[in-house]
Amino acid sequence: MKAAIYCRVSTEDQEKEGTSLHTQREACLAKGRELGYEVPEDLTFIETYSGLTLDRVQLTTLRNRARNREIEAIIVYTPDRLCRVGEDILYLAKEFKRNGVKLLFVREQWDDTLNGKLVAFMLGWASEVEADHIRERTTRGKTDLVKRGVLPQGTGVGLYGYKWDKDQKKRVPLGFETKVVERVFNMIAEGVSRFKVAKTLNDQGVPTKSGGKWHPLTIKRMVTNPAYIGLTYFGKNRGSKKTSLQPQPQQEWKLLPDVTPPIISKELFEQVQKVLERSKDSRPGRPLHDYLLTGHIICGYCHSSLIGSCLNHRYRYYRCRGAYETTSRGAICNARYIRADSLEEIVWNKVREVLEDPKVILGELHRQAEAEQHKAGEGLSLDKEIARLQRKLRSYDAQQKRLVKLFRHGEFTEDYILDEMNQLKKDREEDKQHLCRLRETKEQLAKLATAEIKLNDFCARVRQNLADCSIEDKRLALDALDIKVVATQDHIEINGAIPIDLTATPTSEGFSSTGQTSA
* pLDDT given for residue 162 in this prediction: 87
For 363, the 3-state DSSP assignment is helix
* pLDDT given for residue 513 in this prediction: 42
pLDDT band at 235 (very low <50, low <70, confident <90, very high): low
* 42 and 103 together in one domain: yes
What gap in Å lies between CA 205 and CA 493, rounded to an integer?
A: 40
Instruction: Give how far Cα 77 sits from Cα of 4, 28, 106, 110, 389, Å.
Output: 12, 6, 5, 12, 44
Q: Which residues of 199-218 are buried (b: 16+ CB within 10 A; e: fewer)?
A: bebbeeeeebbeeebbbeeb
User: Does residue 199 lie within any of the structural domains?
Assistant: yes
Domain that holds residue 274: 162-282
User: Does residue 188 lie within any of the structural domains?
Assistant: yes
441 or 53, which is more confident: 53
User: Does residue 331 lie within any of the structural domains?
Assistant: yes
Lowest average pLDDT, out of 94-103, 206-215, 319-328, goes to 319-328
Question: Does the structure show a pLDDT above 90 at 152?
Answer: no
270 or 90, which is more confident: 270
* pLDDT given for residue 183 in this prediction: 92
User: Does residue 471 lie within any of the structural domains?
Assistant: no
What gap in Å lies between CA 2 and CA 144, rounded to an integer?
A: 50
User: Does residue 287 lie within any of the structural domains?
Assistant: no
* 116 and 173 together in one domain: no
* pLDDT given for residue 43 in this prediction: 93
* 14 and 134 together in one domain: yes
* 170 and 138 together in one domain: no
Q: What is the mean pLDDT of residues 397-413?
A: 77
* 363 and 432 together in one domain: yes
Which residue, 60, 76, 294, 330, is CA-closest to 203? 330
* pLDDT given for residue 159 in this prediction: 84
Question: Does the structure show a pLDDT above 60 at 239?
Answer: no
* 345 and 360 together in one domain: no
Q: What is the mean pLDDT of residues 301-327?
A: 80
Work out whether strand 73-76 and strand 484-487 pair parallel, antiparallel, or are unpaired.
unpaired
| Domain end point (choices 145, 180, 207) | 145
* 105 and 216 together in one domain: no
Residue-wise pLDDT tens digits, 453-470: 666 665 665 555 666 777
Residue 76, phi-psi category: left (phi > 0), alpha (psi -120 to 50), beta (remainder): beta
State the CATH number of the domain containing residue 76.
3.40.50.1390
User: Does residue 518 lie within any of the structural domains?
Assistant: no
* 434 and 327 together in one domain: no
Q: What is the mean pLDDT of residues 262-287?
A: 77
User: Does residue 150 lie within any of the structural domains?
Assistant: no
How many helices and strands in the chain, by DSSP H and E?
A: 15, 18
Contacting residues for 182 by C-beta, under 8 A, at least 6 apart = 263, 264
Reported residue count of the chain is: 519
Q: What is the mean pLDDT of residues 174-190?
A: 90
> Are 104 and 35 in contact, with CB atoms under 8 Å apart?
yes
State the CATH number of the domain containing residue 256.
3.90.1750.20
* 198 and 210 together in one domain: yes
* 304 and 189 together in one domain: no
User: Does residue 519 lie within any of the structural domains?
Assistant: no
User: Which amino acid does the sequence have at 372?
Assistant: E
* 220 and 277 together in one domain: yes
Residue-wise pLDDT tens digits, 76-111: 998 888 888 777 887 888 888 888 999 898 887 665
Question: Does the structure show a pLDDT above 50 at 156?
Answer: no
Which residue, 16, 96, 8, is CA-closest to 52? 8
* pLDDT given for residue 170 in this prediction: 80
The count of domains in the chain is 4
Q: What is the mean pLDDT of residues 424-428?
A: 85
Q: What is the mean pLDDT of residues 465-483?
A: 76
Share of the chain above pLDDT 90, in %: 18
pTM (two decimals): 0.36
Residue-wise pLDDT tens digits, 288-308: 678 899 889 999 988 888 988
132 or 505, which is more confident: 132
Share of the chain above pLDDT 70, in %: 67
Question: Does the structure show a pLDDT above 60 at 15?
Answer: no
* 52 and 108 together in one domain: yes
